[in-house]
Structure formats: C-alpha cells, structure tokens
Amino acid sequence: MLKNSFALKKPIILLLLFASFSLMAQKPKVKNDPTHDERPVHFGFSVGLNTMDFNIRQSRLAFDTMVLTDVISLKPGFQVHAISNFKLSKYFDFRILPGISFGGEREISYLNLNGGNTIQSDSLVRIESNFLELPLLVKYKAKRINNFRPFIIGGANLRFDLAATKKTWGTSKKNNSLVLLNVFDGYYEIGFGVDFYLEYFKFAVELKYSVGVTNVLKRSLSNKGEGTVYPPEEYAIYTDVIDRINSRMFMISFHFE
C-alpha cells in the first residue's frame, strides 16, 4: 500500500519541481541600464582576434606546368576599433567602426608536381597584412531578455592594406615578396553575437565572417621613374600560376559601449 502511494506521489513531486524551475527561469530580473538602447547615438570601443585567409583559384598555366598553390598555414592577428552606433528603430541600428587589423599572416605553398626547374619544389611565400578599415554595418537586435540580447549583423567593409604599399618582387629584402597584393579591397560581412547589459556599460561578444569581393593579386606596379613594372622573369611563375586571390577573415570581437 505504501509502495503504491509513493509511486503515485513521485510523478506529482517531479511535476511540481519542474514547474518551480520554470517559474524561476521566467522570473524577470532587475534590468541593468534599461534605457541604453533608447539613446539615438552612443559610442564605445572594440578589441578582438582575427584569422586572415585566402581563397586561391589556379590559372590554366598551373595545370599545364603542374605547379599548384594553396594556403597551408595561418597566423592569428588582432584588431582595435572605435564604435559609433546610430539608432534606426526599435530593432535596427547603423554602426560605423573605423579601426585597424594587423598581425595576420598567411603562408602559401607552391607544389611542383612535374619535378622541373620552373619553380623550387615545396616553395613557401609568407604574406602579412595590416589593414586600415571602415566597416559600415546594420545591426538587427532581437527582443531583450532580462540583461542579454542576441543580434545579427551585416554590411560592407573598406580595407587599405598598409603592408602592401611598399612591397616589390624579390626575396633579398624585408619589403620584397614573390606575391604582391593590391592595396584596396571591399568586403561584405555577416555575423552574430550577444549583448550583455552590465551595471555601467554594455558588453558584447560578436563572431563575424568577412569576404573580399575583388581579385587582390597584383600583376604589375606603377613606378614614376620606370613606368609600369612587371615581375622579373625568375619570379613571374609565382604570380602566373594564380588566376585570382580573394581575401577572407574570421573575427571574434569584444565590444564595450
């Protein structure tokens, strides 16, 4: 009899416990800085880490000569931005984040499959970029839940590569490289994150993916004293086996607003 009574009470107890936890989870908390998102304009700063990458498309010459290329190694960099946020509506903001991203390095491998002497087998080219950039983004915010609010973000970014401005073809000097990149590029960006409302400011964690829209592979240089300069014959193969290079970046950012 007691055993049957306990068996009947057990699901009732579990149901009561579940209901209690549900009520506790739904119980509203005191909101930190409840009017933060009502401001028409606010400012802040952002820091974070990034990984720069390339999407490389082989040229016809690469298949004819059996010299193939790929990115085999990435070194992370970091970025610092200022934040200007303009409220558009209850759920949309427009954001401008001028800043700099630097330290990222990509390592390109050239694999000579035919064993000829057109290129050294397993050659490596290291390319570093330091960007001045101007992201122009639209942020969509979900409904605020207590002291956090998820969001998605997207837009465009204009980047100027400081490391590419003084590079020339060669291997003997620090500013020489076998592969040169164009200075300017435009990117489209998409990401998501969560805003956390703290007592005195808003903190956010954001993940973002950025894709370059132009071919950044440089095939010639303009030199005032020499006119148009092309890669020397001994280095031309490193450029000629590539049809196009598009830049990509993966970023994690920490915003303080």
pLDDT by residue for the chain (257 residues), tens only, comes to 434 444 445 555 555 555 554 544 455 677 888 888 899 999 999 999 999 999 999 999 988 888 889 898 888 999 999 999 999 999 999 999 999 998 788 999 888 887 665 666 567 888 999 999 999 999 999 999 999 999 999 999 999 999 888 888 887 777 888 899 999 999 999 999 999 999 889 999 999 999 999 999 999 887 766 678 888 888 888 899 999 999 999 999 999 99
> What would the DSSP string read from start to end of 131-144?
EEEEEEEEEEE---
The DSSP H or E segment spanning 12 is helix 2-26
Check: CB of residue 42 under 8 Å from CB of residue 85. Answer: yes
Tell me if 182 is assigned to some domain: yes
Q: For position 85, which CATH number holds?
A: 2.40.160.20
Burial of 61 per CB tally in 10 Å (0-12, 13-18, 19+)? middle
Q: pTM for this structure?
A: 0.82
Answer yes or no: is 17 within a domain. Answer: no
Q: Is residue 89 part of a domain?
A: yes
The answer to the question of residue 18 being in a domain is no
Residue 77 lies in a domain: yes
Total tally of structural domains belonging to the chain: 1
Alpha-carbon distance of 242 to 59, in angstroms, equals: 5
In a domain, 209, yes or no: yes
Is residue 78 a contact partner of residue 102, using CB atoms and an 8 Å limit? yes
- Is 177 part of a structural domain of the chain? yes
Look at residue 117 and give its three-state secondary structure: coil
Range of the structural domain that residue 166 is part of: 42-256
Residues 6+ apart with CB under 8 A from 256: 44, 45, 46, 201, 202, 203
Q: Do residues 176 and 128 lie in contact, with contact meaning Cβ atoms separated by under 8 Å?
A: no
Is 82 a domain residue? yes
